[in-house]
Amino acid sequence: MLLPRSFFERPDVLTIARQLLGKRVFTRINGELTGGRIVETEAYRHEGDPSITLHLQRKAKQARGLYQPGGTAYLYTVYRVHTLFNITTYDAEHPDTVLIRAIEPLEGLDVMLRRRGLAAVARNLTAGPGVLSQALGLTPALTGELVTGPHIWFEDAGEIVQDEQVIASSRVGLEYAGAEAVALPWRFRLKDSKWTSPAK
């Protein structure tokens, strides 16, 4: 079942990030279908999150993409190499977003391997936000696309993820934003998945 835009328009980005675990994400780029099961996310919230404040300052031009209604793709590049795949939540007045950090690859494995330059399916195919975006064919040019298709969409496959299956921990690479940002337990991972990105 296609996840409706209303799923992302709710005000609590933490709930959305947690509930995306076990959902499926798909892309159709240049006619090629790829996708997988979401096993790791991070939440970023306009309120009480110094990392968002700094992001809005440091990447002011790109960060305008955060001021979109919930359910809009926000993709930007870090280190001039890696594209990070985010989805805006809530509404255009609140720069809240969920970063998709890792998926278990399920669809279009040959396409993903080609994009990643790999010979065989392994953890480094989609375990991490930069490699994930590369495998799915996502680039900053897709910022502003709705995540209800035709290029990016999410599906509910009926999987129920219990709280005991989830690890909530600090987010990755936010030391620059200070101890308060680092301490927030807003990274959500499926406990038994081999496809999550490396632990801190």
Instruction: Tell me if the bond preceding 150 is cis, omega within 30° of 0.
Output: yes
Strand (E) positions, the chain?
24-29, 32-44, 73-78, 82-89, 96-107, 152-155, 166-169, 187-190
The per-residue pLDDT of the chain, averaged, comes to 92
State how far the alpha carbon of 74 is from the alpha carbons of 55, 102, 137, 164, in Å.
13, 16, 14, 30
pLDDT of res. 123: 94
Q: Which of 79-88, 96-105, 167-176 has the lowest mean pLDDT?
A: 167-176
Closest Cα to residue 144, out of 57, 77, 62? 62
Total-model pTM: 0.94
**Token duo for residue 52:** 């968002």
79: pLDDT strictly greater than 60:
yes
Rounded CA gap, 197 and 132, in Å? Answer: 10
pLDDT at 199: 64
Instruction: Delineate the domains of the chain, giving CATH numbers in brackets.
Output: 5-190 (3.10.300.10)
Higher pLDDT, 35 or 78: 35
Residue 92 in this model has a pLDDT that exceeds 60: yes
pLDDT digits (tens, 9 = 90+) for 104-156: 999 999 999 999 999 999 999 999 999 999 999 999 999 999 999 999 999 99
